[in-house]
Amino acid sequence: MASILILVGTESGNAQMVADALKPVLQGAGHAVGVSDAAASAADFLGNDVLLVICATHGSGDIPTNILPLAETLERERPDLSGHRYGIIALGDMTYQDTFCGGGKKLDEIFTRCGAARIGERLEVDASTQPLPDEEALAWIEGWKALV
Ligand SMILES: Cc1cc2nc3c(=O)[nH]c(=O)nc-3n(C[C@H](O)[C@H](O)[C@H](O)COP(=O)(O)O)c2cc1C
């Protein structure tokens, strides 16, 4: 059993909806699961074994404002996260083309640069073809939870 913290980056609620859908699935697999949309530094998540980052994209490939303080702190301080594992779900919209899922991609890079090990492949959810992001995430989490 792992202690999993779901970190949510959202502007209009889709990422939170995905977190709310995945939390009971992970709990059902025997994990202790928390959800936060207010983490601002590594100190806010270091007590957990595994992170699941669920991050939307806004502006032009930008990280949502609620999780931007965390991204900026990790970039600036580069804490050693080599003992940590994380998964990532990026929400975006293909109609934005070059900036598709930019927020989640940036956070993925930041965690990797800090030495954290990604579990599984990044899920990228396209709002233009998938109006219900939790459905795609529910399918993806079946494979991801087996790797935790
Ligand atoms: C103003 C605005 C800008 C957006 N910019 C991008 C973008 O640059 N790239 C992208 O892939 N998606 C972009 N999106 C799509 C959102 O990331 C997508 O709708 C996502 O599901 C929203 O999640 P949220 O409700 O958790 O914020 C944008 C959406 C809005 C409303």
Q: Digits of tens for pLDDT over the chain (148 positions)?
A: 999 999 999 999 999 999 999 999 999 999 999 999 999 999 999 999 999 999 999 999 999 999 999 999 999 999 999 999 999 999 999 999 999 999 999 999 999 999 999 999 999 999 999 989 899 999 999 999 999 9
Q: How many domains does the structure of the chain reveal?
A: 1
Any residues with Cβ below 6 Å from ligand 1, and which?
10-15, 56-61, 64, 91-93, 96, 99-102, 127, 133
How far does residue 46's CA lie from ligand 1's centre (Å)? 28
Counting DSSP H helices and E strands in the chain, the numbers are 4, 6
Nearest CA to ligand 1 atom 6: 58
pLDDT on residue 131: 86
**Residue entry with tokens 């939790």:** 134
Q: Which ligand 1 atom is nearest residue 60's CA?
A: 8
Is the distance from CB of 125 to CB of 136 less than 8 angstroms?
yes
- Domain range for 28 is 3-147
Q: Report the CATH number at residue 92.
A: 3.40.50.360
Is the distance from CB of 76 to CB of 110 less than 8 angstroms?
no
What DSSP designation does 61 have? T
As a whole number of angstroms, the distance between CA 92 and CA 87 comes to 17
Q: Which ligand 1 atom is nearest residue 125's CA?
A: 21
pTM of the model: 0.98
